Amino acid sequence: MIVLKFGGTSVGDSAAIVRASEIIATRRERQPVVVVSAMAGVTDRLLDAAHLAGEGDLRSALTVAHELRERHETAINEAVCRPGPRGQASEAVGTHFAGLDLMLEALTLLREDGAKAEDAVLAHGELWSAEIMARALEARDVPGLFVDARQVMITDATFGRAVPDRTMLAERARAHLASAVQKGSIPVTQGFVGSTLKGTPTTLGRGGSDYTAALLGAALGATEVEIWTDVDGLMTADPRVVKNARTLPEASYDEAAELAYFGAKVLHPATIVPLVEHGIPVWIKNSRRPEAAGTKVIAKAMRSDHTVKSIAWKRGMTILNLRAPRMLGTHGFLKSMFEVFERHGTAVDVVTTSEVSVSVSLENGAPPTALLADLGALGELTVSRERSIFCVVGEGLRDTPGIPARILQALGSLPVEMISLGASKINLTFVVQDAQANEAAQALHREFFP
Ligand code: ADP
Ligand code: ASP
Ligand code: MG
């Protein structure tokens, strides 16, 4: 068995859906299970609809739903090339749209706009694309079968970033997916979407379809996972910012995980975790150019000639600096500081310390006032916003002399705020202001990939 995941642009219109179905057909012998994202942009529009309904503007919310319906009807008419399957796709998608309209009405009446409501609305995007993909396959005599991910991806009730129950997932994947494969079908299911045991829809967080594919790959003991997207593979930097970024033929799990965690959007940050446990290789490939080699991510990958393999960065971070003179010669300061983070459930990325102060970077979004107040009680607190954390990655980076010097030299006069080297064998992280992130990325890329 293999798992094939198609991202938003890879199912973004009828031409993309046809290309994806051709790719699936070429892999038929390898017993594929297919995971799809919502059509490109649909999740954002559904989020708009949920917010409009929550604010009481049902008219505008339904207008968004109507636009989306037209877009999906067009895709069905163009991509499902036989009347039987086309009618069935249209009926199934129509039923889900009727459900969405009712849901938007209910949210309007209740003025409900929390994460739970959002998840229930967002789940529709993947339901529609999976129904269409399954029927587009069937219309080409490829035995696609829609499988509702809400039967398989059982999660807790952390709406917006639900945590899957791996034991339950393994059972359900066998019952609903492996058994269908054994009967000769090609199951097509939704990425990103899950459900609590009670049946309340959940989602795994934005970009979560990659994670679905990895979790299913592990649950099914797949021999490979293929992530089909809109670039040729994992690249030396985000090609939207660094125009001459190159595709990597190979990366290690550790390299890919660091890059994904530090902002390389091509993989959801959690994707690598389930694959490492089972040593399942993952390919990243371009659905517009299936003939291109792509990137293979495996346990042990070739080292780059440059040592540095790729550069990733996350924008919109907040840096907190806590200065406590009484840290001099005392102990327990770090403990009390991190207890504050734990109490507030706040995740910390990079940490640097000196004798009298500690700096930490936090995930995007404004830190809660209560967190700042509790930290402020421990010492003198400074908050810097709109910062980007950079991560320069490559196997062997820590043991290769000269790399840190080259990084700092390439950054020239750009002010660098925190540097962390050595905590991981394969990365060096530092922080600059968001406004200087693109310039920093381009300068580093010129240095390491001339
Ligand atoms: P999908 O919809 O297929 O999941 P995403 O938009 O989530 O696709 O991810 C693909 C995008 O990730 C690319 O278009 C590219 O701009 C961006 N990206 C950021 N960093 C990298 C990188 N290091 N390598 C490849 N792509 C990257
Ligand atoms: N459709 C979801 C999103 O836009 C999940 C995904 O594409 O991976 O975040
Ligand atoms: Mg993605």
Residue 352: closest CA among 431, 255, 254: 431
pLDDT above 60: residue 327:
no
d(CA 85, ligand 3 centre) in Å: 28
What sections of 143-271 are H helices per DSSP? 166-173, 179-182, 209-220, 253-261
Residue 231: closest CA among 283, 282, 287, 271: 287
- Tokens of residue 47, six digits: 């989020």
- Residue owning the nearest CA to atom 8 of ligand 2: 207
Q: Is the CB of 9 under 6 A from ligand 1?
A: yes
Residue-wise pLDDT for 73-100, tens only, equals 999 999 999 999 999 999 999 999 999 9
Ligand in nearest proximity to the CA of 35: 2
pLDDT score, position 331: 74
d(CA 188, CA 32): 9
Residue-wise pLDDT for 244-256, tens only, equals 999 999 999 999 9
Q: Is the CB of 191 under 6 A from ligand 1?
A: no
pLDDT score, position 330: 65
The sign of the torsion formed by the CA atoms of 239, 245, 248, 251 equals: negative
pLDDT score, position 336: 87
Atom number in ligand 1 closest to CA 235: 24
d(CA 231, ligand 1 centre) in Å: 7
pLDDT score, position 409: 95
d(CA 408, CA 171): 50
d(CA 172, ligand 1 centre) in Å: 30
What average pLDDT score do residues 388-415 get?
Answer: 92
Pocket test for ligand 1, best of 35, 231, 289, 390 (most atoms within 8 A of CB): 231
Atom number in ligand 2 closest to CA 209: 8
Taking CB atoms and a 6 Å cutoff, what residues make up the pocket around ligand 2?
A: 7-8, 37-38, 43, 125, 191-192, 206-209
Q: What pairing do the DSSP bridges indicate for beta strands 380-393 and 310-323?
A: antiparallel
pLDDT score, position 394: 92
Confidence of residue 328 (pLDDT cuts 50, 70, 90): low
Atom number in ligand 2 closest to CA 38: 1
pLDDT score, position 349: 85
What average pLDDT score do residues 92-119 get?
Answer: 97
Please, what is the average pLDDT of the chain? Answer: 94
Domains for the chain: give ranges and CATH numbers.
Answer: 2-230 (3.40.1160.10), 310-448 (3.30.2130.10)
pLDDT score, position 273: 95
Which range is least confidently modeled, 3-7, 207-211, 367-371?
A: 367-371
d(CA 210, ligand 3 centre) in Å: 7
d(CA 332, ligand 2 centre) in Å: 42
d(CA 376, CA 360): 14
Q: Is the CB of 41 under 6 A from ligand 1?
A: no
Q: Is 249:293 a contact under the CB 8 Å cutoff?
A: yes
Residue 7: closest CA among 185, 198, 226, 161: 226
